Amino acid sequence: PYYTSICTPIVDDCLNVPAVAVGNVGQLAVDLVVSTLNMSRVGYFHTDCLIPMAGNNPYASCKDDTEELHTPAEVYTAAELKLAVLQIRAPILQTRSKRFRQQLVSWIKASGFSRTVVLSSSHAYQRDDQQLQGTPLRYLITPSLLTTSADALKELSWREMERMPAFPGVKDADAEPRLCIPGGGITKGLYTDSCAEDLPLAVLLLFCSEGDNIPDAFALVNHLNDWLHLLDEPNRKWKVPSSWSLLFGSGIPPALF
């Protein structure tokens, strides 16, 4: 099986998944969710499609749990919120991207989540004219989820991801606009697969550039919170995980001087 349980089975209503995309904004946003809600690690996603790696506990709160071993793809839950998170910490092998999407869709269907939310990002410099207007946040939603979430999305007044001309600069009435998410990793493929499999899935993404993407992560997780209400509005404050202190390395070695 793709999913291996550590302690308890998943019985949650909603799943959050980051896409390995530009700026790692999705992973950083998921870090904030896991850390703030103090979610419990209940298992890991076993696959050979990710670069194998391991490390210390990224959400350590004291010295005792710092040395816990963690893997590239792990499952966390918050039972009281009926929320599950699959955090992905390693790049997907380029030749196994399609296989990873298939494994992910298969696991989501087998787990019976009522909705899945993919947190992603896209290159800001590749936006067309219409995407330069207004907020840098966009969403996509599959037909099966739209039937149950249309009213909520209308109330939020979010902007749907625009389709781009098949041939930019060329007027062709017969060419249908296409979905394009440059820098989004598996986002487009996972959305397309979910539509084909009648999977209730939404994509929340943000146009950004590589660099210090911490502000982008806060913007994306606040956008998610507007929909899922993970934190109460008056006291909304996200907890930064301890691993973020090494987000840009450990500094310049003093021995150099």
CATH of the domain at 113: 3.40.50.10900
How high is the pLDDT of residue 69? 86
How high is the pLDDT of residue 11? 47
Residues 6+ apart with CB under 8 A from 118: 17, 18, 19, 26, 187, 190, 191, 201, 202, 203, 204
| 3 domain-assigned | no
Q: Please list the ranges in the chain whose pLDDT falls under 50.
A: 7-9, 11
Over residues 48-87, the pLDDT tens digits come to: 999 998 888 888 887 777 778 889 999 999 988 999 999 9
| 134 domain-assigned | yes
| 186 domain-assigned | yes
| 38 domain-assigned | yes
| 1 domain-assigned | no
| 51 domain-assigned | yes
How high is the pLDDT of residue 128? 86
Number of domains in the chain: 1
Residue closest to 215 by CA, chosen among 96, 126, 146, 124: 124
How high is the pLDDT of residue 156? 92
How high is the pLDDT of residue 204? 97
| 216 domain-assigned | yes
Q: DSSP string of the chain?
A: --EEESSS----SEEEEE---GGGHHHHHHHHHHHHTTPEEEEEE--SSB----BS-TT--SGGGTT--B-SEEEEEEGGGTEEEEEE-SPBPGGGHHHHHHHHHHHHHHHT-SEEEEEEEEEGGG--GGGGSS-SEEEEE-HHHHHHHHHHHHHHTPPBPPPB-SSTT---TTSPPB---TT-TTHHHHHHHHHHTT--EEEEEEEE-SS--HHHHHHHHHHHHHHH--S-STT--PPPPGGGGGBTBS---GGG-
How high is the pLDDT of residue 120? 97
| 201 domain-assigned | yes
Structural domain boundaries, residue 129 = 9-165+172-256
